[in-house]
Amino acid sequence: MREVAFGEKSGAPVAIALGFFDSVHLGHRKLLQRTEEIAKIRGIWCATMTFKNNPFETMGKKTKLIYSYEERAMLFEKLGIDIVCVALFDDNFMRMSADDFLSILADTFDLKHVVCGYDFRFGKEREGDVKKLCQFCRSSGIGLDVIEKAVHNGKKVSSTLIREYLSKGEIEKANELLAEPYFMMGEVIHGRKVGSKLLFPTINIELDCQKLKIKQGVYFTLTTIDGIQYRSVTNFGQKPTFGLKDFEVETYIIGYDGDLYGKRVAISFIKKLRDTAKFADAKALKEQIYKDIENAKAIPIDRLA
């Protein structure tokens, strides 16, 4: 998959999906799948657009990202995207007029077809809408598909709803809207050796400072190492038994023995096992961890789909 900066003259003939795609949820996937279909039919490149940074931060909001750029890029490639058009959402981008946005996009690619959601907005103060995009495409001889909203169990599929579920630890509800398990990617770093002291060798990954903090707790997870998935148990959050208040991502990988320091792994969250709790001592915590591991082993494989 190739990365092209917004405004860079690539000249590639593309069908492009427009949006932020911060969670690549069911609705986003409809856009991306339609874009891929059109690209294949027309024999052109399949592209999408996203931001490399956290746009909410530029807007003065405290909203964190569901997926980092790296995580989104991995999902895009998995979904058959050939080119990712990357923009930096800074003050200049935020002040850009709708007309300038369309002009720069047209200079970046040889636009053949555009796909967007029914509520797509662009330009300064969201002045551009689907109607304006339609006029632009019609006058430029560019095809346009507008995808209607996605609904699941009577609720509109949105990143806002997914954030709500993740913040409450309702992982299974979030995963239904994401179409696959929510995950975190990161490099394995040296932790505080708490797990090792309990005879449970664990790995720690560093959490991106712009990534959403899900609800603290212990989760049944799948850890992907070099393309192979292993069942695992992950503690996300603090360690009150040891008086540790920093948020950490600590994972015990069932059936894996090896040095992972410096390697990038992906941890997919499948089911919440329990809330974070303070135990009387390390022995009591160790007994609970044994139970957590056995619970993780007992979850049917069909729950992982």
At 74-122, the pLDDT tens digits run 999 999 999 999 999 999 999 999 999 999 999 999 999 999 999 999 9
Considering only residues 304 and 117, tell me which one the structure prediction assigns the higher pLDDT: 117
Strand partners, 198: none
Q: How far is the CA of 305 from the CAs of 1, 17, 31, 166, 292, in angstroms?
A: 26, 27, 22, 19, 21
In the CATH scheme, what architecture does the domain 2-155 have? 3-Layer(aba) Sandwich (3.40)
Torsion region of 171: left, alpha or beta (phi above 0 gives left; psi -120 to 50 gives alpha) = alpha
pLDDT of residue 305: 42
Which residue ranges make up each domain of the chain? Answer: 2-155, 181-304
pLDDT at 280 over 70: no
- pLDDT (mean) for 4-19: 96
Is the alpha carbon torsion for 59, 114, 156, 80 positive or negative?
negative
CATH superfamily of 181-304: Riboflavin kinase-like (2.40.30.30)
119-128, 172-181, 245-254, 286-295: the lowest-pLDDT one: 245-254
Proportion of the chain above pLDDT 90, given as a percent: 81
